[in-house]
Chain A
Amino acid sequence: MKKAYLFIILLCLMSYGCEKNISLEIPKYNDKVVVYCILMPYNDIQVYLSLSQSYYSYADTNSTISNTLIQTAQVIVTDQTANKTDTLQYNIFAQSYGEGRNGFFAISGHHYVMNVNYQGKILTAETTVPMQAKIDHVDYIKLDTAQNQGTNYEFNVFFNTVAGGPNSYLLSNQTNFISDNGVAGEQLETTINYRLGPVYPDTVYFQLSNATQETANYLSNINIQSQNAGDPFTQPVIVEGNINGGLGIFGAITPGPSFRVIVK
């Protein structure tokens, strides 16, 4: 019985730890203009503009972008390589700024500058649309065959990086970019496991996209930040963009051609 009392006292002491909602002394958060624009060759230029808001003052953290969209800004994109400029127009259906009077597509190798003016706040950013990267060849190894689920293969994808980088490459069905920092222009290899389904039991398509470093970092960090949400034991992931005077990204991704592999 004495032991029971001792244990109860012990438990009380040990479990008297508490969780408490504290108010950190965080100064008033000033809303910042957020730019989101990823240029893709031969695609319309679309610029999303919104305002960030205090993380602690807003109750519904699952709000969508529509709550804070900016519709009255002046957005100018210049293709410095082709010496063209367009003032983008807000499209209420697309909830973004798109093709204006002098509309043009993004082109690989061209350098673009963006200027945003919203209520006197000036934001600038620039990027170069990367050249297309191509898959050179693909080796594969058969791993196992699961009943009713197709055959599992390990594919080794060899691709030629673009000289003059650094750039980052993303293979379809993968989430991690591969950087060619320091080895731009050389051939790199990436491995992916893939199970061929019953519809195409002997064919798989790969596509390699080439992104600017800023774009790859931005998208990767959003992905990690999202995965770590609510986990107190992970380091915070700071999503860094390339917008002077605001948040977000003015980046570019160039998808490569599809590469078909027929498994024999």
Chain B
Amino acid sequence: MKWLFASVFVFLVLSCSVSAQKYTISGYVKDASTGEVLIGASLYVPKLKVGAVTNTYGFYSLTLGTDSVGLAIRFMGYKPVFKKIDLRKNIELNISLQTLELGEVVITGSKAGENVDKPQMGVIDVPITSIKELPAIFGEKDLFKVLQLLPGVQSGSEGSAGFYVRGGGADENLILLDDAVIYNPYHMAGFFSIFNGDAIKSVDLYKGGFPAEYGGRLSSIIDITMKDGNDQSFHGEGGIGLISSRLMLEGPIVKSKVSFMVSARRTYLDLLIKPFLPAGTEAAYYFYDLNAKVNYIISDKDRVYLSGYMGADVLSTQLTSPGDTTGIGVSWGNKSATARWNHVFSPRLFANTTVIYDDYNFTLNEQVNDLAAKIQSGIQDVGGKIDFDWFPSPLNHVKFGAFYTYSEFIPSLVQGQIGDLGFANEQTKFVHNAATYINDEYTYSEKWSFNIGLRAPYFDYKQTTYFEVEPRFTAKYALDKTTSLKASYAMMYQNIHLLSSTSISLPTDIWIPSSNIVRPEQSQQVSAGIFKNLLDNAFETSAEIYYKKSNNVIEYQPGTDIFFNPDIDNALYFGQGWSYGLELFIKKNVGKFTGWLGYTLSWANLQFDQLNNGEPFPATYDRRHDFSITGIYNFNKNWSFSTVFIYETGSSLTVPLGTYDVPWSNNNGYIQVLDYGSMNQYKLPPYNRLDIGIKYSKQHKKYEDEWRLDIYNAYSRQNPYFVFIDPNYMDANANITKAAAVQISIFPIIPTVSYNFKF
């Protein structure tokens, strides 16, 4: 693979020397009213037809070979700024953009025209404003529920925030919160994600064509950035809902220098239930989230960010009767902390150094009289990374860097005490994980631009080492200013794997690292698409096709106890998967009516030598059609209406078709055997749902508030949460018991009223 590195290096050197370099304009682009840096704002020099885009920290650099230029700075939802610059030396230019006040909605945070202009494909900049405006179950605005409405993203079961991207498994999505990995991003058995929309600044979802700075999962990257905190004035927002309340506060500690943001959310089902519990019984369930961030601008060259997240689900019950006490306590949650230092080495070289800590933990404590038992599993990561953005010319944006993480996996820890007798069974696995990468976004001509990268991950566990090379490539050909064709190729490796005992997300799912038996999962994906924007980027449209092939994907042997198995690696099967499909997307960004329409036509298959007679079978979430519409209509300054409609083919299911008996050494002398045919041969009924939201908001002198009515599942469709086969189902009509497929539906029409405010 040395030749590959050498080729990339030579390419970079050659491509960087194409244009003459003289002076550099560099700096940050931010929101004038909040001081938040703007990610993906575009800077364009019409005369030279070159430009730049701000990075994740709002930094840009533009090196030009002329002495007087006009510079246009744009960001969707903000007033464009035009500046004339006399370029006789390197210039530091920090730009503040004012938000538009058109009396109509603009989906802010989107990078206008970027979907057509940049070579990157398979990426969606998730509109944060939509998360807050769209109707939601129990009024709980949820990032992942909005992700599920995007093409290429399949939802899990009814009400679940779990998602599957382009036929990949649930563990194939890397979820980053300010660079920290979130291993279990769900509350309440997957009904809600842990991400509180009030604390989030931006979300990027990558489904393919992955840039080289990302790796470690096969199917998607969800890169979430928390708000930095308003460095101009003190603000807050919050809400009171049916099951939870939340509050976010932000403001300057030192104006334009140091700012903070703190956000909290907690459910209160436990408090509501408490007065109604019978004597001798204690039961409680709640979850909470706490986000915090401090941002310190030391100088124009140095900035420091400290951010953290802490959240957990807590469930406890205790039954007390004379001479008998039984108590169970279960908790699971994530903690993460990130310290980041931005340093501008030169107008063309920007660096970010990050120290990361994250922790996922599941604990179950049980006390039955004199028996005390504790079951635990989790992962703890400590690591660091350094990322450079180098702008050698207006035609090149080179990113390179490295990261290292030391991880401690505890697939299962069992401790107990019966009287004086104690027992313990602990499995702890220590893992070294590292990677280096280099990526160049290279503009060859007005028509052609490329994204060429290479990532080299390294993984070590118990003297088993995997060193891989992942080439990444995307190319863009501009048909005209508003239309482009793109194609991409990406190879990904995954060295940690989730074993799930059920089809729903439970905290008992465990993560295991690669080993000498469990080899890294690998995927290769090719995709191509056409991107077209209409009416000055008011409409974004795209059509993408993809084909993804995965190797060493994991299933476990039927009947395996994954939690208490000391030799789980040997209880796994390894196979291959392949998926392909077409994704259509139309999004309207401005006007009284905003929203999008997404459609996915897809296939996802798996093959294991030991399963299904070695024959291929559809993956559980192989949904042929997935269609969603979202819309937000603003009648006037006070009233708005929003809606979501989803239709998707049901997920796949393995059900018994026939039955027969064979001789067996039991009481009857026979045993019943079920004939399942092949795996996942049946589809559940189609899933469809309509949600409606009505909002009344009012601007007061010092604050703004709103009342919301959200109606989830407006026509009360009984969608399956799960289906199981009951061998002794009572058929009341025929007054007999017989086998039947029983569907459990849990969410009928659910109206919710909530109150939100901000100041």
Tell which of B657, B723, B731 touches A26, judged by Cβ atoms closer than 8 Å. Answer: B657
Q: What chain B residues lie within 8 Å of A105 (beta carbons)?
A: none
Residue A205 at the B interface, CB < 8 A? no
Establish whether residues A247 and B718, one from each chain, have CB atoms under 8 Å apart when the complex forms: no
State whether B659 touches A52 (Cβ < 8 A): yes
When chains A and B are docked, how far (Å) is the Cα of A24 from the Cα of B681?
12
B674 beta carbon closer than 8 Å to chain A: yes
Contacts A26-B682, A61-B659 given; does A55 touch B674 at CB 8 Å: yes
A101 interface contact, C-beta 8 A = no
Q: A22-B741, A24-B741, A48-B663 are in contact. Are A55 and B748 (CB under 8 A)?
A: no
Q: How far is the CA of A247 from the CA of B679 in the complex (A)?
A: 16
> Contacts A6-B272, A222-B671; is A52 near B745 (CB within 8 Å)?
no
Chain A residues with CB under 8 Å of B671's CB are 222, 226
Instruction: Check if A34 sits within 8 Å of B742, measured CB to CB.
Output: no
Question: Which of B657, B663, B676, B731 meets A36, CB within 8 Å?
Answer: B663
User: Contacts A26-B682, A56-B739, A240-B613; is A13 near B558 (CB within 8 Å)?
Assistant: no
Residues of A near B731 (CB, < 8 A) are 21, 59
A52 near B660 with CB under 8 A, answer yes
Task: Give the Cβ gap from B405 to chain A, nearest Cβ, in Å.
Answer: 32
Q: Which residues of A contact B613 (CB under 8 A)?
A: 240
Check A232/B722 contact, CB under 8 A, given A17-B745, A50-B661, A51-B660. Answer: yes
Q: Type the 1/0 row for A55-77, where 1 means its CB is closer than 8 Å to any CB of B.
A: 11011011111001000000000
A229 touching B727 in the complex, CB below 8 Å, given contacts A22-B685, A24-B655, A61-B739: yes
**Residues of chain A in range 1-43 having any CB-CB distance to chain B below 8 Å:** 3-4, 6-7, 10, 13, 16-26, 29, 31-32, 34, 36
Interface residues in B484-511 by Cβ distance below 8 A to A read 501-502
Tell me whether B276 and A7 are in contact (CB under 8 A). yes
Report B240-294 residues with CB < 8 Å from chain A CB: 242-243, 269, 272-273, 275-276
A255 close to B (CB within 8 Å) = no
Cα-based distance from A225 to B501 in the complex (angstroms)? 16
A57 to B674, CA, bound (A): 14
When C-beta atoms are compared, the residue in chain A nearest to B610 turns out to be A217
With known contacts A68-B660, A230-B727, A22–B654 Cβ distance under 8 A = no
A138 vs B657: C-alpha distance in the bound complex, in angstroms? 45
CA distance A22 to B611 in the complex (A): 28
User: A65 contacts B559, CB within 8 Å?
Assistant: no
In the complex with contacts A7-B276, A32-B658, A53-B658, A59-B738 CB distance below 8 A: yes
| Contact of B739 (CB < 8 Å), options: A18, A55, A222 | A55
With A55-B674, A61-B728 already in contact, the answer to whether A237 and B559 are too (CB < 8 A) is yes
A13 vs B159: C-alpha distance in the bound complex, in angstroms?
14
The smallest C-beta distance from A23 to any residue of chain B, in angstroms, reads: 7
A237 contacts across to B, CB distance below 8 A: 558-559
Q: How many Å lie between the Cα of A214 and that of B717 in the bound state? A: 45
Residues on A with beta carbons closer than 8 Å to the beta carbon of B673: 222, 225, 239
Per the 8 Å Cβ criterion, residues 216-264 of A in contact with B are: 221-222, 224-230, 232-240, 247-248
Name the distance in Å between B559's Cβ and chain A's nearest Cβ.
Answer: 4
Give the Cβ gap from A32 to chain B, nearest Cβ, in Å: 7
B321 adjacent to chain A (CB < 8 Å): no
Query: Which of A232, A237, A247 lies at the interface centre, i.e. has the most chain B CB atoms within 10 A of its CB?
Result: A232
Give which listed residue, B269, B675, B742, contacts A19 with CB less than 8 A: B742
Instruction: Report yes or no: B558 in contact with A61, Cβ–Cβ below 8 A.
Output: no
Task: Verify if B746 is at the interface (C-beta below 8 Å from A).
Answer: yes
Does any Cβ of B come within 8 Å of A54's Cβ? Answer: yes
Is B662 a contact of A34 with CB atoms below 8 Å? Answer: yes
Please indicate the chain A residues that have their CB under 8 angstroms from the CB of B353 in the complex. Answer: none
Given contacts A32-B675, A52-B659, A226-B671, contact A59 B737 (CB under 8 A): yes
B161 to chain A, nearest CB (A): 18
Contact A29 B672 (CB under 8 A): no
Check: B726 CB closer than 8 A to any chain A CB. Answer: yes
Task: Assess whether A17 is in contact with B660, with CB atoms less than 8 Å apart.
Answer: no
Kindly provide the distance from the CB of A56 to the nearest chain B CB, expressed in whole angstroms.
6
Q: Is the CB of A21 within 8 A of B660?
A: no
Who on chain A is nearest to B724 by CB? Answer: A232
Q: Which of B722-759 contact A (CB under 8 A)?
A: 722-729, 731, 734, 736-748, 750
B672 touches A62 (CB 8 A): yes
Q: Which residue on chain B has the smallest CB distance to residue A35?
A: B662
User: On chain B, which size bracket covers the interface?
Assistant: 35 or more
B236 on interface, CB distance cutoff 8 Å: no
- Judged by a CB distance under 8 angstroms, whether B656 is at the interface is yes
Most chain B beta-carbon contacts within 10 A, residue among A16, A22, A48, A58? A22
B612 in contact (CB, < 8 A): yes
Cβ B723 vs Cβ A22 within 8 A: yes
- Whether the Cβ atoms of A21 and B276 lie closer than 8 Å is no
B423 / chain A contacts, CB cutoff of 8 Å = none
B668 at the A interface (CB under 8 A): yes
- Chain A residues with Cβ below 8 Å from B658 are 29, 31-32, 52-55
B750–A61 contact, CB under 8 A? Answer: no
Verify A24–B682 contact, CB threshold 8 A. yes
Judge whether B660 and A61 touch: CB under 8 Å.
Answer: no
For the complex, give the distance between the alpha carbons of A52 and B660 in Å. 5
Kindly report which residue of chain B lies nearest to residue A27, judged by CB atoms: B657
Nearest CB to that of A240 among chain B residues? Answer: B613
Minimum CB–CB distance from A219 to chain B (whole Å) comes to: 9
| Partner among B657, B736, B750 whose Cβ is within 8 Å of the Cβ of A59 | B736
- In the assembled complex, the Cα of A13 lies from the Cα of B724 at a distance in Å of 24
* CB <8 Å contact, B612 and A238: yes
Give every chain A residue within 8 A of B675 (Cβ-Cβ): 32, 52, 55, 239, 247
Q: Which residues of B contact A247 (CB under 8 A)?
A: 660, 675
Q: A7-B272, A7-B276 are in contact. Are A21 and B742 (CB under 8 A)?
A: yes
- B residues in contact with A21, CB < 8 Å: 729, 731, 740-743
What's the minimum C-beta distance from A238 to chain B, rounded to whole angstroms? Answer: 5
Q: Known interface pairs A26-B657, A238-B654. Does A16 touch B748 (Cβ–Cβ under 8 Å)?
A: yes
Q: Which residues of B contact A61 (CB under 8 A)?
A: 659, 672, 727-728, 737-739
Asked if A222 contacts B664 (CB within 8 A), the reply is yes
CA distance A3 to B728 in the complex (A): 41
The answer to whether A238 and B750 touch (CB under 8 A), given A3-B272, A26-B655, is no
Q: How far, in angstroms, from A23 to B275 measured CA to CA in the complex?
A: 41
A13 to B269, CA, bound (A): 13
Q: Is B670 an interface residue (CB 8 A)?
A: yes
Q: How far is the CA of A246 from the CA of B611 in the complex (A)?
A: 18
CB of B601, distance to nearest CB on chain A (Å) = 21
Return the chain A residue nearest B504 by Cβ: A233
Given contacts A21-B729, A61-B738, A236-B676, contact A54 B748 (CB under 8 A): no
- Complex Cα distance, B738 from A247, in Å, reads 23
- Can you identify 15 A-B contacts, CB atoms within 8 angstroms? A6-B272, A17-B748, A19-B742, A19-B745, A21-B741, A22-B720, A32-B675, A36-B662, A48-B662, A54-B659, A59-B737, A222-B664, A224-B558, A233-B501, A239-B676
Given A7-B272, A222-B662, 12 new contacts (CB under 8 A): A6-B272, A10-B242, A20-B745, A21-B743, A23-B741, A26-B657, A29-B657, A50-B661, A58-B738, A61-B727, A65-B660, A239-B674
B residues contacting A by CB (< 8 A) are 242-243, 269, 272-273, 275-276, 501-502, 558-559, 611-613, 653-664, 668-676, 678-679, 682, 684-685, 718, 720-729, 731, 734, 736-748, 750
Closest 5 CB pairs of A and B: A232-B724, A17-B746, A224-B559, A52-B660, A237-B558
